[in-house]
Amino acid sequence: MNFWKLKYKIESYLNFFNKITIKDVSFYRDDAVNYAELKVEAQDIQEAEKQGEMKLQDVLSAMEFTLNERINFHVMDIQQEKGSGKSQFVGDSILAGVVAVRVPFPETELENINDIFIGINNSNNIGTIAYQSYLKGIEVGEWYNEAFLNFFKAIEVIANTYLEEGKREKEISSEENLKSLVKNLEDYVKQKEDNLDKLKKICTDIHSLGFVELKKKIDIALMDLGLSEYSKEAKKLVNFRNKFVAHGSSNKIIEIQELEKCKNISRMMIKKYIEKNHT
């Protein structure tokens, strides 16, 4: 196996004035350009490039999640390290134009970035899927409806893990309703009514008693994760999802305010879920 040193150009509005290192990936600024460097052990240059990209993307994903910012990168060069400690240039790829950077990288967030990186790598599948959905929402950026769906999917994935809790609450609250509906059905049969719409409604109402709606599951999830103050906003998000995006009943584009609310609740739920369920 050989050791390889990879260098990337980082595109972001953030500026790495000071060199920082996260999980063996170093970020710094040189001649008005942001860079990242890392080392991998690989058999050949193709494997080194693949491993390097995965390693860098893991760290950048934690940055994107914490800082709410899409960060792109391009590999600049790959060098194979020799036994003497020297490096030999092997290859590079075409670089995109330099992106203007406007603000310093918030080094105060390094601990949070590290926590997310560790948390997601020790999370269960639910946390990972929700996290990836959130990152996809950031990636699609200006496509508000698609971004909204991805942020909402993260909420839904976590909320669905609370199905059993929802069923238990549903059973308690539905007992009296069930007795009343069964009586209505008995009366309908005894009176030999010929009203299919009424029969259909009674049957539908009985069936729905066993259905735990998404709003309820989200509400239970928020309560369990210590985010119950967002319950009201979350219920509104379900309505927006149904009306504007998922059911195609309106051509209206999701407003930025609703997108940001969904993004914020999604991010907080993921963070709390990862903290609560890491392995």
Asked whether 274 and 127 are in contact (CB, 8 A), the reply is yes
pTM summary value = 0.70
Q: Is the per-residue pLDDT at 211 higher than 70?
A: no
Q: In the chain, what percentage of residues exceed pLDDT 70?
A: 71
130-155 pLDDT, tens per residue? 999 999 998 887 788 889 989 999 99
Which tokens go with 17? 């004035």
122-136 pLDDT, tens per residue? 888 899 999 999 999
Q: Output the pLDDT for position 246.
A: 46
Q: Is the per-residue pLDDT at 249 higher than 80?
A: no
Q: Output the pLDDT for position 38.
A: 92
154: which residues sit within 8 A by CB, 6+ positions away? 129, 130, 131, 133, 134, 137, 266, 269, 270
Q: Output the pLDDT for position 179.
A: 58
55-106 pLDDT, tens per residue? 999 999 998 898 887 888 888 888 887 655 444 545 544 433 333 445 788 8
Cα angle 227, 229, 230 (rounded to 5 degrees) comes to 75
Q: Output the pLDDT for position 165.
A: 61
Phi, psi of 43 (to 5 degrees): -75, -40
- Rounded to whole angstroms, the Cα distance separating 52 from 5 reads 9
Q: Output the pLDDT for position 212.
A: 47
Q: Is the per-residue pLDDT at 238 higher than 80?
A: yes
Question: 243 or 179: whose pLDDT is higher?
Answer: 243
Summarize the confidence of residues 184-210 as an average pLDDT. 59
